[in-house]
Amino acid sequence: MWYNSTMISEGIKDHSTFTELHPAVTTIYFVLVIGITMFSNEPVFLSISFAAAALYHILLKGVREIRNIIIITVVVAGITTVINGFFTHNGETVLFYIGSNRITAEAFAFAAGMSLMLVAVIQWFVCFSIITTSDKMIYVFGAVLPVIGLMISIIFRSIPLLQKRFSDIDAAQKAMGHGEDKGFFRKARQKLKEISILIAWSLEASIDTADSMTARGYGLHGRTSFHLFKFEKRDALAIVIGAVCGAACIAGCVFGIGRIYYYPVVRPSNPDLDGGVKILFYVLFALLAAIPFFYELYGEYQWRKYESVN
Domain count, the chain: 1
Each residue's pLDDT tens digit, 80-93: 888 887 888 787 88
- What pLDDT does 221 receive? 67
Q: Does some domain include residue 98?
A: yes
Residues 36 and 249 sit within 8 Å (Cβ to Cβ):
yes
Averaged over 92-117, what is the pLDDT? 85
Q: Does some domain include residue 13?
A: yes
Describe the crossing of helices 105-131 and 65-87 by its angle, rounded to 10 degrees: 150
Look up the pTM and report it.
Answer: 0.75
Q: Does some domain include residue 181?
A: no
What integer best gives the mean pLDDT of the chain? 81
Residue 44: CB atoms within 10 A of its CB come to: 15
- What pLDDT does 144 receive? 64
Q: Does some domain include residue 127?
A: yes
Q: Does some domain include residue 310?
A: no
Each residue's pLDDT tens digit, 261-280: 888 888 877 776 667 778 88
Domain range enclosing 59: 7-157+220-303
pLDDT exceeds cutoff 50 at 256 = yes
Q: How far apart are CA 18 and CA 228, in angstroms?
A: 16
Q: Does some domain include residue 276?
A: yes
Q: Does some domain include residue 281?
A: yes
- What pLDDT does 50 receive? 92
Q: Does some domain include residue 126?
A: yes
Each residue's pLDDT tens digit, 198-242: 888 888 887 887 777 777 776 666 666 656 778 888 889 989 999
